[in-house]
Amino acid sequence: MEFRPCLVRSTADGGIEKITLGHPLLDDYLVFVAARARTNTWLAVAYDLKVFFEVIGKEPAVVTTADVFVFLSSLRAPRRGERVVRLEDGEAGLAARTIARRLSSVRGLYAYLCAREDAGVRRNPVPASLAARRPGARRGRGGVPLIRTPRTLPRVLAPAEVGALRAALRTHRDRAMVDAMVLGGLRRCEVLGLRLEDLSAGERRLFVAEGKGGRQRVVPVSARFFAAVGAYLESERPRASATRQVFVVLKGARRGEPLSAAGLDEILEGARGRAGLERATCHQLRHTCFTRLREAGMALEAIQAQAGHASIESTRIYLHLANGWLEKEYLRAAEAIEAQAGPPAGGASR
């Protein structure tokens, strides 16, 4: 029996209340996801499953591993012609991270259906990896991953680029949002999620109530941010706004309502163009913050706490971005090696 999903979102009080795909098993799973994940993750999983079942066109209980490989091939197929590839990874299809996320969403669905034991699913059709070829190897150890995601370093902005971007912003609100990212390292969703009670100007701290993975944290932020947000609250934020969100729309039909992610992206895109910059995204501002902190000597554990990383392995990337730190460590080690080796050959005085 053929199945074609239809993604429907129901909203209430400005937020998403329910997401359905038109199949009882999938809809039950989306309820399960909604109870344990943030809205963005919930939406991403729903969209990934929609794409999967659009390509496969089968009932969930009859999907096979062969179908998963068909789906994988469709994701890797050229999007804009055989001769058009991304400079980043040389691929013509979707980015490896996007493919890996979609496979993860499908794998999560089938792990749920297997655990239920009433959906007619006895095994997960999405393999974690291909079995290792060497004889005697343990299954799941040393196998070939379905998708090999590149470990690329994020791009950061130079101090002059940050200055040009900030100068191109038109309001105190916009400067405060950029400062929260480039000085405090907040994510885009964390900036937009800030409430008035989360600001502690006297202590120069912010309370992040909705961090990634549901983790809360208190982070210090430079006085420059509080100067910008203070000017915004004093002269720009509509007095009649009923929301507790700090950053709101300043004009138009939605004046006084919370600013959306698309709205923040549009603000940043406009400022980037006026500043003549090739790149400037919210996440690049966050990466720039932690790179500069590491270059200034901030301990990696402190950066982990500031960033809200669950694992310090996520924070180690800033060791590679902070080139000054690497250079100093190399020169220190090289000098120690040269001292042990003694004077160079032929250097002794006669």
245 secondary structure, DSSP code: B
Q: Which residues pair with 258 in a beta bridge?
A: 248
309 is catalytic: yes
Centroid of chain to Cα 124: 27
Q: Is 330 a catalytic residue?
A: no
Backbone angles phi, psi at 15, to 5 degrees: -125, 165
- The rounded radius of gyration (Å) of the Cα atoms in the chain is 25
Alpha-carbon distances of 49 from 83, 109, 169, 218, rounded to whole Å: 29, 8, 39, 35
Q: Annotated catalytic, 23?
A: no
Chain centroid, CA 209 distance in Å:
17
Burial of 298 (0-12, 13-18, 19+ CB in 10 A): middle
Q: Which of 102, 272, 286, 292 is catalytic?
A: 286
- Supply the DSSP string of 273-295, one letter for each residue: HHHT-S---HHHHHHHHHHHHHH
- DSSP bridge partners of 8: 20
Catalytic residue among 123, 195, 244, 283: 283
Nearest to 33 by CA among 10, 44, 286, 93: 44
**Candidate list 187, 188, 287, 292, residue with the active-site label:** 187
Return all residues near 249 (Cβ < 8 A) that are at least 6 apart: 255, 256, 257, 258, 259, 263
* Pair 76, 94: CB distance under 8 Å: yes
Residue 228, classified by CB atoms within 10 Å of its CB into exposed (0-12), middle (13-18) or buried (19+), is: buried
User: Of the listed 212, 217, 224, 274, which one is catalytic?
Assistant: 212
Rounded to an integer, what distance in angstroms lies between the CA atom of residue 174 and that of residue 5? 39
> Tokens 């053929």 appear where?
2
Characterize 88-99 residue by residue with b for buried, 16 or more Cβ atoms within 10 angstroms of its Cβ, and e for exposed.
Answer: eeeebbbebeeb
Residues annotated as part of the active site:
187, 212, 283, 286, 309, 318
